[in-house]
A and B are shown apart, each in its own frame.
Chain A
Amino acid sequence: MSMLSVDGIDAYYDESHILRELSMEVEEGEICALLGRNGAGKTTTLRCIAGATPPQVRRGSIRFRGEDITGQPAEDVAPQGISLVPEERRVFPNLTVEENLHLPEVARNVSNRFGRSVATTESGMSLDDVYDDFPRLDERRNQTAGTLSGGEQQMLAIGRALRQPTQMLLLDEPYEGLAPQIIETVERAIERIRDSGRTILLVEQNAVAATEIADSAYVIDAGEVVFDGTADELAADEETRQRYLGV
């Protein structure tokens, strides 16, 4: 059984039909790259999985570890082990680094105190482990997150996601606007997360960088899957790359 299976979903923003019978499978412990041009529907796919609205999923189903999570709100999906690192300004800019990292634990505690039935009470990575993984964050604990550099903010966003009981990490364009050197640091971090047994769904415009570390890959265009295979197969498939990714 796959970790995540998306089965023929149709997703809409109001009346615009964005995803058309999109299906994909992500296996446990792999890095799966979801690629495509701007506007192909990559972010929409992630939002459907994470339970963000809009979009609305009108047909099809999304199953996580066998459980149907279609249409569940974001705050119910997150405790089941799916953490989304959204694109662009990804942190809480006026909270300190430490407050940002503290928030997932607070969310879990206050929810439990309210007697809310969260699917899991297990905790994510400890604060110390996150600081060990990202020493830059350790140095900047008490700085407000908005004053960090782009790369540091991305580290913080990933670190915060790992503080949730994450089994699957959804990364939306983590390399966007980062210098090549910083991209490499983020890549190493993503690989470490995979090596710790977690599953990663990586959305990227930067197809070359994404296929370098990915195990499997999907390419979508206009809301439909046009390629499905291993990352190596995609690297060898020049036609698909040129036609849909422009590389």
Chain B
Amino acid sequence: MSPRVPRDELRVLGLTALAVLAFPYLFAEAPVVSDVLNGYAGLATPILIWGIFVMGYDLLHGYTGLLSFGHAAFWGAGGMTVGALIHHAEFSFPLVAVALAVIVGILLAALIGYLSLRRGGIYFAILTLAFGQMIYYTMLGPAGQLTNGEDGLILDASSLFGVIPLDAGLPVLTPLGIIPSWLYAVTGVLTLVSVAVAYRILQSPYGLVFKAIRENEQRASFVGLNVWRYKLAAFVASGAFAGLAGGLHALQAGNASASPFYWIVSGDVVIMSILGGVGTLFGGFIGAGIYLYMDNVASSIGLIGDRWHLLLGVLFVVIVWLFPDGVWGGLRRLRSMVGSDDTTHTQTTDDGGND
């Protein structure tokens, strides 16, 4: 098991790095593709940010089999951490603020996970939803002084390390149409780090433990696993990714408010997760991409306009029908179909020879 892991990991990280580098160009600049897509560079950053969020959520939902409806809390808390630091404390190190957002995500997830994982199945989902909404209303009302409610805090975190403007282009890469801004570069690097961490977790013994719990909790306990503890570990891990993404999102949006705590956000993550593919890790980025594309690009096409939610619903149904394991799962199946076509072919020839 162990010797081939590093090579797999390098391959995965290499492909991720390539995808992150090529994505803004393909999406916003490339001659034919981007004309068809009608994409714009500004959307590339949020797609990666939401992708991190959904990928982390997939560790919990896809790999451990726990459906949470409360992840808006960690996403919101990450954003509010960054917002409060920059706005109230005039903190001028956005990356440090984002790192603190991860820690807040972890702590909050440990608390809510500890309380919600007392129950399983639908009761767990409802508990996470309830805690999430409790936090939302706290942010809206009692903590309104801190958060400024739905209007939120306007963030002036324009510079990285106090020198480089976050929204400026990179000297060489931007004119070539690659890497629209420093913010994208930072997000891209953190995406790569996130993928590396998530992939590591899944390749480690914990990945196997998570999958075993998803398959059958009781059987996992017969093998000697303290199921509750690993469910909490998965919950906390997904909270960390949510905190990171939420922090980045506040930087990117230039705003941190109570709205990201709202339960709709928790639902959006579930939808993105299913669109991209549950239990596929990378599907999260596809799901986030489709959702944000519909929200931002398709909705500005005259014919679709406000009806984009309807179109998304139709798309959702079609994808779930055609590919129960999402777009990524569908692509994977397509690939293995092409691959196994060859094997079947060889096998038939072999059988023929033997007979």
Q: Nearest-CB distance from A49 to chain B (Å)?
A: 12
Q: A203 vs B224: C-alpha distance in the bound complex, in angstroms?
A: 21
Q: Nearest-CB distance from B299 to chain A (Å)?
A: 38
Please determine whether A102 and B208 come into contact, CB atoms closer than 8 angstroms.
yes
Most buried by A among B224, B227, B229: B224
Please determine whether B221 and A92 come into contact, CB atoms closer than 8 angstroms.
no
| CB of A8 closer than 8 Å to a CB of B | no
Q: A95 vs B223: C-alpha distance in the bound complex, in angstroms?
A: 14
Please determine whether A102 and B1 come into contact, CB atoms closer than 8 angstroms.
yes
Given A92-B215, A95-B208, A110-B209, A52-B222 contact (CB < 8 Å) = yes
B218 touches which of A52, A79, A94, A104 (Cβ 8 Å): A52
| CB of A99 closer than 8 Å to a CB of B | yes
Most buried by B among A52, A93, A104, A106: A106
Contact code string B1-29 (vs A, CB < 8 Å = 1, else 0): 10000000000000000000000000000
| CB of A193 closer than 8 Å to a CB of B | no
Q: A94 vs B223: C-alpha distance in the bound complex, in angstroms?
A: 16
| CB of B335 closer than 8 Å to a CB of A | no
Given A92-B212, A94-B211, A160-B205 contact (CB < 8 Å) = no
Q: A72 vs B40: C-alpha distance in the bound complex, in angstroms?
A: 59
Please determine whether A83 and B208 come into contact, CB atoms closer than 8 angstroms.
no
Please determine whether B227 and A75 come into contact, CB atoms closer than 8 angstroms.
yes
Given A95-B208, A106-B208, A109-B205, A164-B223 contact (CB < 8 Å) = yes
Q: Nearest-CB distance from A139 to chain B (Å)?
A: 16
Contact code string A59-89 (vs B, CB < 8 Å = 1, else 0): 0000000000000011100110001101000
Of chain B, the residue at the smallest CB distance from A104 is B223
Q: A86 vs B227: C-alpha distance in the bound complex, in angstroms?
A: 17
Please determine whether A74 and B206 come into contact, CB atoms closer than 8 angstroms.
no
Please determine whether B225 and A75 come into contact, CB atoms closer than 8 angstroms.
yes
| CB of A50 closer than 8 Å to a CB of B | yes
Q: Nearest-CB distance from B138 to chain A (Å)?
A: 33
Please determine whether B212 and A95 come into contact, CB atoms closer than 8 angstroms.
yes
Q: A216 vs B173: C-alpha distance in the bound complex, in angstroms?
A: 79
Please determine whether B225 and A107 come into contact, CB atoms closer than 8 angstroms.
yes
| CB of B348 closer than 8 Å to a CB of A | no
Please determine whether A75 and B224 come into contact, CB atoms closer than 8 angstroms.
yes
Please determine whether B224 and A108 come into contact, CB atoms closer than 8 angstroms.
yes
A-B contact count (CB 8 A): 71
Given A102-B1, A106-B205, A84-B222 contact (CB < 8 Å) = yes
Q: Nearest-CB distance from B69 to chain A (Å)?
A: 24
Q: A79 vs B222: C-alpha distance in the bound complex, in angstroms?
A: 9
Please determine whether A107 and B218 come into contact, CB atoms closer than 8 angstroms.
no
| CB of A111 closer than 8 Å to a CB of B | yes
A119-146 interface with B by 8 A CB criterion: none
Q: Nearest-CB distance from A166 to chain B (Å)?
A: 11
Given A106-B205, A109-B205, A74-B211 contact (CB < 8 Å) = no
Q: A84 vs B218: C-alpha distance in the bound complex, in angstroms?
A: 11
A169-212 interface with B by 8 A CB criterion: none
Q: Nearest-CB distance from A213 to chain B (Å)?
A: 23
Of chain B, the residue at the smallest CB distance from A163 is B223
B215 touches which of A83, A95, A104, A110 (Cβ 8 Å): A95
Please determine whether A107 and B223 come into contact, CB atoms closer than 8 angstroms.
yes
| CB of B219 closer than 8 Å to a CB of A | yes
A75 touches which of B206, B208, B216, B226 (Cβ 8 Å): B226
- Specify which chain B residues have a CB less than 8 angstroms from the CB of A102 in the assembled complex: 1, 208
B202-252 interface with A by 8 A CB criterion: 205-206, 208-209, 211-212, 215-216, 218-227, 229-230
Please determine whether B224 and A164 come into contact, CB atoms closer than 8 angstroms.
yes
A9-54 interface with B by 8 A CB criterion: 50, 52
Of chain A, the residue at the smallest CB distance from B213 is A92
Q: Which 8 A-B pairs have the closest CB atoms?
A: A78-B224, A74-B221, A106-B205, A92-B215, A107-B224, A107-B225, A75-B221, A75-B226
Please give the residue numbers on chain B whose beta carbons come within 8 Å of chain A beta carbons, in ascending order. 1, 205-206, 208-209, 211-212, 215-216, 218-227, 229-230
9 contacts between A and B (CB under 8 A): A52-B221, A74-B221, A92-B219, A94-B211, A95-B208, A99-B211, A102-B208, A106-B205, A110-B230
Q: Could you list 5 further interchain pairs (A-B, Cβ under 8 angstroms) beyond the known A74-B221, A79-B224, A104-B223?
A: A73-B221, A95-B212, A106-B208, A107-B220, A164-B224
